[in-house]
Chain A
């Protein structure tokens, strides 16, 4: 979990590794928009399966699969449990009662806590949305060199400062995690047992004791890295001449990806117009059917 190599991008020769960073970013944007607009569980499931297939194609190591699975489980569990308990739309059918309304104090305070069937289903959809983005996010970070990511972000006109901050954050996450582990080790060596600090005050104290050294070291590192990158010519006057043009294959993939996204977006829009009774085009019946079933 704290091993630096587990989090950092790894050089590789798989098609996913070779895929241009600019296309990966477009895919990220398309997926991000898609998971918000798409309501169909089956399409969301297919997208999740596709992103997981991406990891298979990228030959993600077993340790990374375990890490990914852990994150997916936490995201799915959190989303499903919270939605199942706090679902407030109608109809809603309770399938289990966690706290009966007659329970002293808690029951009165909460009017009872139930697990709702509809909430569970809605939570599952939400969980798939989170999992798709998590899975793709990991795939992007594990298979894209930070330098390429930076150039790609700048290529897509994200402001230099924002691009640099985003990529530096990614670059530093593994380092921070690895140094957090070292700090915990140092604390153990000095006889400090985190398990003894289980009280709220103790937990806050422990958090600060871990945070200070990690923060101080991270700041020092960040300053050095920023100076190193600046003094290698990277800055707001950065020129994009060195960004090679997309290969014909890349262009095709990009065009295909954008076309599919645009078509899906248009179909969804038409469906929303039809569903709300704002506009109906008889010739678009197959589009409405497709959108209802898949989007």
Chain B
């Protein structure tokens, strides 16, 4: 049987560029496969996806050589409309692609375009919504859906056409842990039950490697690895060289020479137990005690803070009291809508509490004044100067700090470039540099890791750590438990506006039940540590060290 997708020596150069974004790509995808395409930001993954459904070359205005065949037919000979019946494309941000205002209308759109009978459309919409877990929401406004539901709606909007393949561009980068898990389980179920081919582009390997059987790794527009996911994960140096984060269960298995490594936490626990039967948990020493609570100056204090957007709405935050001291890096976690971003807006003075008291450096925060700096989730909206240098110099307390800051964040060579024309990672670092140049005492970061590859995440986290070490305080919202465990000195978990947990990472990630209630997943290392030793471990290194210690103890 012919492969579903055949790509033969594909090279594509965008009209505005001199070098190709993808070069000499050759690959085949068989019907029913579940394929992961991964690689550093800007390596050509999304461009490759667009070639699969004909947007390239039909709608992209660049130069394409080689060919893409779908079910044996060259995509050049088919229109995008014809291809839409065979390949559905889901983009990264559901907000950017949802076109209708009602759930039913969004799903029906593709069917109407195919000229189906209205009766059939109604049936198909109902079935598709049931398949993606949105049954009964036909008449709901799309604005009432959560982030995860919107992503499932975006998926339903292409699935309704019953394509033979769906391709998804970073589908879980914008959703919380719960939403990501639901979407991936849905894709697995669809792939297994209907045989639909799934191609996913994603950075978050932790979540996706557990479900993808085949992985394709790209670098600088070329495929540098194409094979079984398990084989790729057995070669950690390849992933690390390409700036990708190895899933913690894999890291743990590899660190213990357990091959092939497990991709899931439960698999890692099973493999470790099977491979190392001499584990002796009782011989393990407690993890080294963390540093004592900083006794530095209080920079932020919240006392019984209540806020509501509408008079009739619920309070979010709902009676929150906390203090943040110099030197602390505080991660705020919780499901979408828990009140994380509202908390940041109260701290930067954009919102005022309905009751209670917010103090930053002892005074009521006023937006734009005082010493609170914030980097927003979407850095694009913060950049308004003609060059990177001007952007960083804008509001800088001391012009002499601009050049060193640019160098520190790897922006020195881009100083004369237009900020909005930079890559996403570069734009975020420019926004961060612009905020740091104002010498804030408190740095607020709203989901700083969204859409960033691991190399960029590391750079941002290190910068935040340095800032705190120099006498500042950092408060950041995140869904990424590994980042929170790795870089925060303290974690706050919010649920429906209330502080559910507020402690050091180890203590917070020991509260499995409360975390689950708040829609927060602990890092895999914590789950493995809990299963093997009834202890909360925060990193792969800690798990490996414990296992080794246990073996020696046994």
Using a CB–CB cutoff of 8 Å, the interface residues on chain A facing chain B are 5, 8-11, 145-148, 151, 171, 179, 182-183, 185-193, 208-210, 212-214, 216-217, 220-221, 224-235, 237-244
Contact = CB atoms under 8 A, between A and B. Distances in A.
B309 to A, nearest CB: 10
Interface stretch (B15-23, B89-97, B210-218, B456-464): B89-97
B350 interface: yes
A213 B380 CA distance: 6
B101 A8 contact: yes
A162 to B, nearest CB: 17
Contact of A192 (B100, B113, B114, B395): B395
Interface in B333-370: 348, 350, 367-369
Contact of A11 (B83, B140, B385, B438): B140
Given A11-B140, A238-B113, A190 B101 contact: no
Given A192-B395, A242-B114, A232 B84 contact: yes
A224 B143 contact: no
Given A241-B115, A242-B116, A229 B80 contact: no
Contacts of A221: 96
A240 B116 CA distance: 9
Given A11-B102, A231-B88, A191 B381 contact: no
Contacts of B368: 187-193
B109 A232 contact: yes
A221 B95 CA distance: 9
B91 A145 contact: no
B113 A213 contact: no
Q: Which of B101, B116, B161 has the most CB of A within 10 A?
A: B101
A8 B143 contact: yes
Given A148-B105, A192-B368, A213 B420 contact: yes
Interface string B110-121: 111111111001
A191 B420 contact: no
Given A230-B80, A233-B110, 10 more contacts: A5-B143, A145-B100, A146-B101, A182-B376, A182-B381, A213-B383, A225-B97, A232-B84, A232-B88, A234-B113
Contacts of B149: none
A270 B97 CA distance: 51
Nearest to B377: A182
A164 to B, nearest CB: 11
B91 A229 contact: no
B442 interface: no
Interface in B371-395: 372-374, 376, 378, 380-385, 394-395
B93 A224 contact: yes
B367 A189 contact: yes
Interface in B155-204: 157-158, 161
Contacts of A227: 50, 55, 59, 89, 91
B438 A242 contact: no
Contact of A212 (B102, B106, B420): B420
Contacts, number: 168
Contacts of A185: 350, 367
A234 B97 CA distance: 13
A209 B394 CA distance: 12
Interface of B: 50, 53-55, 59, 79-81, 83-85, 87-89, 91, 93, 96-97, 99-102, 105-106, 109-118, 121, 139-141, 143, 157-158, 161, 348, 350, 367-369, 372-374, 376, 378, 380-385, 394-395, 420, 434-435, 438
Contacts of B348: 189
Which 10 A-B pairs have CB atoms at the shortest separation, nearest pair first? A233-B113, A242-B112, A241-B115, A228-B97, A209-B384, A239-B115, A233-B84, A216-B420, A224-B96, A232-B110
Contacts of A148: 105
Contacts of A233: 80-81, 84-85, 110, 113-114, 161
A186 to B, nearest CB: 4
Contact of B81 (A11, A191, A208, A238): A238
A172 B440 CA distance: 35
A277 B112 CA distance: 54
B173 to A, nearest CB: 14
Nearest to B90: A228
A228 B100 CA distance: 12
Contacts of A147: 99-100, 105-106, 109
B161 A212 contact: no
A240 B87 CA distance: 22
Contacts of A242: 111-118, 121
A252 to B, nearest CB: 20
B143 A232 contact: no
A200 to B, nearest CB: 19
B291 to A, nearest CB: 32
A173 to B, nearest CB: 14
A228 B101 contact: no
Nearest to A167: B99
A9 B114 CA distance: 25
B394 A232 contact: no
Q: Which of B381, B394, B395 has the most CB of A within 10 A?
A: B381
A244 B381 contact: no
A225 B99 contact: yes
30 contacts: A11-B139, A11-B140, A145-B101, A148-B105, A171-B99, A182-B376, A186-B382, A189-B372, A191-B368, A192-B394, A193-B368, A208-B384, A212-B384, A224-B93, A224-B96, A224-B97, A225-B97, A227-B89, A229-B109, A230-B59, A230-B84, A231-B87, A231-B89, A231-B158, A232-B109, A235-B79, A238-B113, A241-B116, A242-B112, A242-B114
B96 A225 contact: yes
Contacts of A171: 99
Contacts of B54: 231
B129 to A, nearest CB: 15
A268 to B, nearest CB: 38
Nearest to A223: B96
A255 B157 CA distance: 35
Contacts of A225: 96-97, 99
B438 A145 contact: no
B147 to A, nearest CB: 15
Contacts of B435: 190
Contacts of A212: 383-384, 420
A226 B110 CA distance: 14
Contact of B99 (A146, A182, A189): A146
